[in-house]
């Protein structure tokens, strides 16, 4: 299976290493009654995240010693919870644009999405029950939707990103892939700062107990999705209404093209600064897509960047105000199903505003396109509402009945 999908970075001696890690975990927690929540769970780690026992290549041709860094806190926390590192998963080069070799397990002729390509594919193929990814714009939610699995991108800053090669630091967020919400929760509790499980109230208003009020963001943003994706999304909204959820339609982001331009300015500016030293020394080893992103960023001035950051704060405030009286935005997770071929990882536009605002985002499997490939439903909460987004996501998952 791995030979066809290529979810993992090749690793000599992988089997022996995993056996040794598993033995060490068992020796550390010999008593089954006192084992941690992720005891023995194999986890894939995106190859921009440093692991002490494995080199970091970041999907690039740069020498690993040039990229080396201290082990990531997220890896330390997974190991403290009993997890076993299954290996490094394939990423687009430096988590930017240039795809790796990974194929979509649902149809090998299609992209798995990116940049967390290998993490999404490994979970979808059943190679591991859990994988770590990162999202700058749409690098987790989109591939999870394309591959038909769940993924959660927490509020910006909720998981420490030390030990992770940056893309655009004011956006970069670590997150997790699993088959469903139940698979995400114990891992998020282990890796997020100050995680406190949320129990939906037994409820006293007109809604069934604990159900969130959902909001559909009407306007040019939603219209970025393909007609087929919007049709399937509409049927899932009807299911949620039938299950007792309240759904409101809220016109927002009339200036969405301006929001896209602002994000592009900030993203490219930061990418260029992140890679300044490496690019100066190893520029000839970079792939064309990454070179283009860096060159674009080099042409953006500090004045333009600071202006875009100010506009970003204003956008975040507008979206928070628009959410008043509701609990979750719901949207298609991607513009449509995974595109054919491996030369692109698809469009991240459906994730763009939420990543721009640093909001917690969950994607759940939600139907299929006419070609049989999966689609997803994206659920976005208020900043810091991560625990409630997961709890509400479990209710939505049950109502959708996609399992």
pLDDT of residue 199: 79
- Residue 365 within a domain: no
Instruction: Tell which residue, 134, 133, 127, 176, has the closest CA to residue 151.
Output: 176
Q: Which phi and psi (to 5°) does residue 178 adopt?
A: -155, 175
Instruction: Tell which residue, 366, 362, 384, 386, has the closest CA to residue 376.
Output: 366
Catalytic residue (one of 46, 116, 153, 361): 46
Give the percent of the chain with pLDDT over 90.
96
pLDDT of residue 241: 98
User: Omega into 236 within 30° of 0, i.e. cis?
Assistant: no
Tell me the pLDDT band of 203, cut-offs 50, 70 and 90: low
Catalytic residue (one of 60, 119, 139, 355): 139
Tell me the pLDDT band of 98, cut-offs 50, 70 and 90: very high
- Residue 268 within a domain: no
Report yes or no: 381 and 328 within 8 Å, Cβ to Cβ.
yes
Q: What is the pLDDT of residues 42-55, one digit of tens each?
A: 999 999 999 999 99
Task: Work out the mean pLDDT of the chain and round it to a whole number.
Answer: 97
Mean pLDDT of 60-85: 98
- Residue 146 within a domain: yes
Asked if pLDDT for residue 205 goes beyond 70, the answer is no
Give the Å distances, CA to CA, from 325 to 143, 316, 321: 31, 17, 9
Q: What's the total number of domains in the chain?
A: 1
User: Can 115 be counted among the known catalytic residues?
Assistant: yes
Report yes or no: 40 and 78 within 8 Å, Cβ to Cβ.
no
Asked if pLDDT for residue 101 goes beyond 60, the answer is yes
Partner residues linked to 44 by β-bridges: 87, 131
Mean pLDDT of 64-69: 97
Range of the domain at 95: 2-191
Q: What is the pLDDT of residues 6-53, one digit of tens each?
A: 999 999 999 999 999 999 999 999 999 999 999 999 999 999 999 999
Q: Which residue carries 């090998």 as its tokens?
A: 108
Assign 70 to helix, strand or coil. coil
Tell me the pLDDT band of 202, cut-offs 50, 70 and 90: low
Asked if pLDDT for residue 206 goes beyond 90, the answer is no
Mean pLDDT of 118-146: 99
Tell me the pLDDT band of 200, cut-offs 50, 70 and 90: confident
- Residue 19 within a domain: yes
Mean pLDDT of 70-89: 99
Separation CA 157–CA 149 (nearest Å): 23
Give the Å distances, CA to CA, from 64 to 56, 67, 288, 294, 360: 6, 5, 20, 20, 32
Cβ atoms within 10 Å of 177's Cβ, excluding its own: 33
User: Can 46 be counted among the known catalytic residues?
Assistant: yes
Residue 373: both structure tokens together: 């490939």
Separation CA 347–CA 335 (nearest Å): 7
pLDDT of residue 64: 96
- Residue 157 within a domain: yes
- Residue 147 within a domain: yes
Mean pLDDT of 104-115: 99
Tell me the pLDDT band of 287, cut-offs 50, 70 and 90: very high
- Residue 297 within a domain: no
- Residue 233 within a domain: no
Mean pLDDT of 91-104: 98
User: Can 170 be counted among the known catalytic residues?
Assistant: no
Tell me the pLDDT band of 207, cut-offs 50, 70 and 90: low
* CATH code for the domain of 13: 3.90.1300.10
Q: What is the pLDDT of residues 158-176, one digit of tens each?
A: 999 999 999 999 999 999 9
Catalytic residue (one of 60, 115, 117, 348): 115
């Amino acid at each position: 299976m791995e030979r066809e999908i290529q979810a993992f970075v090749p690793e000599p001696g992988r089997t022996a290493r995993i056996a040794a890690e598993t033995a060490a975990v068992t020796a550390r927690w010999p008593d089954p009654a006192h084992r941690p929540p992720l005891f023995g769970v194999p986890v894939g780690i995106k190859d921009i995240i440093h692991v002490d026992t494995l080199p970091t290549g970041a999907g690039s041709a740069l020498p690993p010693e040039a990229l080396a860094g201290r082990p990531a806190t997220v890896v330390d926390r997974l190991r403290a919870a009993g997890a076993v590192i299954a290996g490094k998963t394939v990423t687009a080069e430096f988590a930017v644009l240039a795809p790796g070799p990974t194929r979509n397990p649902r149809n090998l002729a299609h992209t798995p999405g990116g940049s967390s390509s290998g993490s999404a594919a490994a979970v979808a193929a059943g190679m591991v029950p859990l994988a770590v990814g990162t999202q700058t714009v749409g690098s987790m939610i989109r591939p999870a939707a394309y591959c038909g699995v769940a993924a959660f991108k927490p509020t910006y800053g909720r998981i420490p990103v030390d030990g992770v090669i940056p893309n655009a630091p004011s956006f970069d967020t670590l997150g997790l892939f699993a088959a469903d919400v139940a698979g995400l929760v114990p891992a998020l509790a282990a890796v997020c700062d100050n995680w406190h499980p949320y129990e939906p109230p037994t409820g006293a208003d007109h809604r069934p107990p604990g159900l969130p009020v959902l909001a559909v963001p009407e306007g040019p943003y939603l219209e970025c999705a393909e007609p087929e994706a919007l049709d399937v999304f509409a049927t899932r909204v009807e299911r949620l209404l039938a299950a007792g959820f309240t759904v409101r339609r809220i016109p927002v982001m009339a200036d969405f093209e301006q929001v896209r331009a602002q994000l592009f300015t900030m993203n490219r500016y930061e990418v260029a600064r992140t890679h300044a030293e490496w690019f100066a020394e190893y520029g000839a080893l970079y792939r064309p897509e990454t070179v283009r992103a860096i060159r674009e960023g080099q042409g953006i001035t500090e004045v333009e960047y600071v202006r875009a950051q100010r506009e970003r704060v204003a956008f975040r405030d507008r979206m928070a105000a628009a959410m008043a009286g509701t609990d979750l935005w719901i949207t298609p997770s991607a513009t449509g199903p995974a595109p054919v071929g491996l030369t692109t990882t698809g469009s991240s536009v459906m994730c763009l505003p939420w990543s721009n605002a640093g909001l917690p985002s969950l994607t759940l499997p939600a139907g299929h396109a006419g070609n049989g490939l999966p689609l997803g439903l994206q659920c976005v909460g208020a900043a810091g509402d991560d625990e409630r987004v997961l709890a509400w996501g479990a209710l939505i998952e049950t109502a959708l009945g996609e399992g």
